[in-house]
Amino acid sequence: MNEHDSHLKELALEAQRHPQNSRERRKALTRLLRAIEQSRQLSRPRRDQFQGLYEEIYADAVQRLYAHICDRIDTYSAEKGEVLQWANFLLSKRFFIEASRELLPTVYKGMDARAVIHLTLEDLDRENPQDANPHSRPLLSQEVRTFIEDDPDQIFQTTHVADRPDASFQLIALRRLDGFSWQEISAALGIRVPTLSSFYQRTLTRLAPKLKEYLS
Does 12 help bind other proteins (rule: CB under 8 A)?
A: no
Question: Cα dist. 11→6, 71, 80, 111 in Å?
Answer: 9, 15, 16, 43
Cross-strand pairs, 165: none
Of residues 2, 23, 112, 134, which one binds other proteins by CB under 8 A?
A: 23
Nearer of residues 30 and 154 to other proteins, judged by Cβ: 30
Residues 65-84, mask of contacts with other proteins (x by CB under 8 A): -xx--xx-------------
Residue 165 DSSP label: T
Question: Residues in the chain, how many?
Answer: 216
**Which residue type does 180 have?**
F
Instruction: Find out whether 82 and 7 touch, Cβ atoms under 8 Å.
Output: no
**Residue 85 in contact with other proteins, rule: CB under 8 A:** no
The 8-class DSSP code of residue 82 comes to: -
Quick check: 136 binds other proteins (CB under 8 A)? no
Residue 34's nearest CA partner among 83, 72, 81 is 83
| Contact map string, positions 164 to 183, toward other proteins, x by CB under 8 A | ---------x--xx-x--x-
Closest approach of other proteins to the CB of residue 20, in Å = 7
CA 51 to mean position of chain CA atoms: 25
212 touches other proteins (CB under 8 A):
yes
Counting contacts by CB under 8 A, is residue 120 touching other proteins? yes
- 122 touching other proteins, by CB under 8 A: yes
Helices of type H across 72-181:
83-90, 96-108, 113-116, 121-126, 140-150, 169-177
d(CA 82, CA 70): 16
Return residues touching other proteins (CB under 8 A).
20-24, 26-27, 29-30, 33-34, 37, 40, 55-56, 58-60, 62-63, 66-67, 70-71, 103, 115-116, 118-122, 124-130, 133, 139-142, 144-145, 173, 176-177, 179, 182, 193-194, 196-198, 200-201, 204-205, 208, 211-212, 215
